[in-house]
């Protein structure tokens, strides 16, 4: 089970409890790997990975996005501070794919990193249209940028013939920093 949390703001004291939480439960593998807020602190972005064949996520919103083949897909979901889903996007290819890091900039753009494998990895925006790319060998590192409304602005990848994975991303002073192996 994966639980996404939004903790109330704390000013020098312990919070009384959770504002809200959302859970995803199934007999498949699913996890949230990174969380960030938008620059105005009015939304929460959660990134992670779900096993294909997963019948639903967050109330069935993604039922039609996941196929029945093997492997896993990465996801990014935007929720308001009450936990309501605003939009969601998916990264998917024939192999194992995950979004492992998320951050935002002062303009409200959302940056994600992770890895993908296989040919024709699909990067979708909220409109359902997207772009594809293929890995250089095993798993390759990806970095993508979405605007605050969920439209895919750009994506890049890098990797050699072996497995390459990114695990974290940070935006500072107009630059992106990505960590991984």
Q: Taking 60 as the threshold, does the pLDDT of residue 53 lie above it?
A: no
**For the chain, what percent of residues have pLDDT higher than 70?**
69
Q: Higher confidence at residue 140 or residue 131?
A: 140
- Determine, yes or no, domain membership for 9: no
The mean pLDDT value for 62-85 works out to 71
Q: Higher confidence at residue 76 or residue 19?
A: 76
Residue whose pair of structure tokens reads 């990114």 in the numeric block:
166
The mean pLDDT value for 45-73 works out to 61
Q: Higher confidence at residue 1 or residue 123?
A: 123
Contact 127, 103 (CB under 8 A): no
- Determine, yes or no, domain membership for 21: no
Q: Taking 70 as the threshold, does the pLDDT of residue 39 lie above it?
A: yes
Predicted confidence band of residue 7 (pLDDT cuts 50, 70, 90): very low
The whole domain housing 108 covers: 28-174
Which tokens hold the place of 135?
């890995």
What is the tally of structural domains in the chain? 1
- Determine, yes or no, domain membership for 111: yes
Predicted confidence band of residue 15 (pLDDT cuts 50, 70, 90): low
Q: Taking 70 as the threshold, does the pLDDT of residue 129 lie above it?
A: no
Q: Higher confidence at residue 118 or residue 149?
A: 149
- Determine, yes or no, domain membership for 1: no
- Determine, yes or no, domain membership for 110: yes
- Determine, yes or no, domain membership for 92: yes
Dist CA 165 CA 43 (whole Å): 27
Q: What is the pTM of this model?
A: 0.81
The mean pLDDT value for 127-142 works out to 77
Nearest Cα to Cα of residue 112 among 174, 44, 34, 41: 34
The mean pLDDT value for 163-170 works out to 91
Lowest model confidence (mean pLDDT) among 16-25, 35-44, 75-84, 96-105: 16-25
Contact 66, 89 (CB under 8 A): no
- Determine, yes or no, domain membership for 17: no
- Determine, yes or no, domain membership for 107: yes
């Amino acid at each position: 089970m994966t639980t996404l949390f939004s903790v109330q703001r704390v000013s020098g004291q312990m919070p009384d409890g959770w504002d809200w939480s959302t859970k995803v439960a199934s007999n498949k593998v699913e996890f949230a790997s990174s969380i960030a807020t938008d620059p105005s602190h009015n939304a929460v972005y959660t990134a992670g990975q779900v096993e294909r064949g997963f019948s639903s996520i967050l109330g069935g919103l993604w039922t039609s996005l996941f196929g029945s083949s093997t492997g896993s897909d990465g996801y990014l979901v935007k929720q308001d501070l009450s936990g309501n889903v605003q939009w969601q996007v998916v990264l998917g290819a024939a192999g194992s794919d995950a979004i492992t890091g998320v951050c935002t900039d002062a303009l409200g753009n959302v940056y994600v990193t992770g890895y993908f494998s296989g040919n024709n990895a699909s990067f979708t925006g909220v409109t359902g249209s997207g772009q594809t790319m293929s890995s250089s060998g095993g798993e390759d590192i990806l970095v993508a940028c979405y605007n605050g409304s969920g439209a895919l602005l750009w994506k890049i990848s890098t990797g050699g013939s072996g497995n390459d994975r990114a695990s974290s991303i940070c935006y500072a002073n107009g630059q992106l920093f990505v960590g991984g192996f």
